[in-house]
Amino acid sequence: MALIKKQPRSKFYELLQAQIHNEFNASQQYIALAVWFDAEDLPQLAKHFYKQSVEERNHAMALVQYMLDTDHHVEIPGTGDVRNTFSDVTELIELALQQEKDVATDIQQLAKAARAEEDYIGEQFTQWFLKEQVEEISQMSTLLNIVKRANGNLFEVENHLHRESVGDSGADSGMPPVAGGAL
């Protein structure tokens, strides 16, 4: 018989649980983008978004590990709807950029809730995610600019990604521990 942790749930922890869902959903959306690029024979864009998907999964699992470490019950949620149909590359990148902006807003709400509840450890935990979102938004904005400047020449976008590795900073330096280990 498994014991369910009885730790009271604060707003911060309710938002953490919701953010686990958001991160898993972002991971699934990035898989959908990667598959679309794969189907269009754009291997560098596909590779970029497959990596983004794994990164979002790792973020979700870091939130899971934090909740486990702080003795809170965790529920692994299903994901929400995922968009699979697009008319052009710009649409996909714009969706990804908006997704990153939405996640930044969510993380800011987490930090605010922790501060309001005087949960200084929780507030400190959110700092890495806030910094990460600045990088993610910047990198996705750059990719969108490159796509727009390529003016339909996706070969140039592919070359740019191969050459510059936009969004591929390697290991997440300073990332909180990930339940089960980062992929």
Task: List residues forming the annotated binding site.
Answer: 23, 56, 59, 100, 133
Quote the tokens at residue 29: 């959306």
| C-alpha–C-alpha distance, residues 170 and 167, integer Å | 9
Those residues with Cβ within 8 angstroms of residue 182's Cβ, 6 or more apart along the chain or in another chain: 58, 61, 171, 172, 175
Binding site for Fe cation: which residues?
23, 56, 59, 100, 133
**CA pair distance 37, 46, nearest whole angstrom:** 5
Residues 6+ apart with CB under 8 A from 117: 10, 11, 12
Tell me if residue 59 falls in helix, strand or coil: helix
